Amino acid sequence: MFQWWTGPVVFSVSPTVLFMVDPYMTVSDIPGAAGFKHAFDLQSTVGGALDFKTSVNVTRHQSLVLDLNATYFYYYASDPYGGIYEPDSHTFIPTVLLGYSILL
């Protein structure tokens, strides 16, 4: 975590490296093949997250917080099974948090 303090405002940035170990995706009941079920093995991958947070002290006992976060993973295609497979894909999850806190 990297943090900067400028009077009543605090900024922080937190980069994170994430690992997806032995991921898989289970598929069931695909169109035209009722009762089909198979777990597609995916390759282990590395992802990441970045968190940016700003906290502002409004008064001595109150503060406002803005937290922006982004998480990303990339998945490689699985091996084919019965002519179907999970293609390359990615997951991107952005989040925004607004908060108010009372400091005792």
Residue range 84-93, pLDDT digits in tens: 888 888 899 9
C-alpha separations of 33 from 25, 46, 83, 87 in Å: 17, 33, 13, 19
Compute the distance between CA of residue 24 and CA of residue 56 in angstroms, rounded to an integer. Answer: 42
| Residue 8, C-beta contacts closer than 8 angstroms, at least 6 positions apart | 56, 57, 58
Q: What is the pLDDT of residue 60?
A: 87
In 3-state terms, what secondary structure has residue 23?
A: coil
Q: What is the pLDDT of residue 96?
A: 98
- Asked if residue 71 has pLDDT above 90, the reply is yes
Burial of 78 (0-12, 13-18, 19+ CB in 10 A): buried
pLDDT tens-place string over residues 8-62: 999 999 999 998 888 888 877 777 767 778 888 888 888 999 999 999 999 989 9
Tell me how far the alpha carbon of residue 28 is from its chain's centroid.
Answer: 25
Position with higher pLDDT, 66 vs 19: 66
Of residues 14 and 78, more confidently modeled? 14
Q: Would you mind telling me the total number of residues written for the chain in this entry?
A: 104
The pLDDT of residue 75 = 83
pTM of the model: 0.70
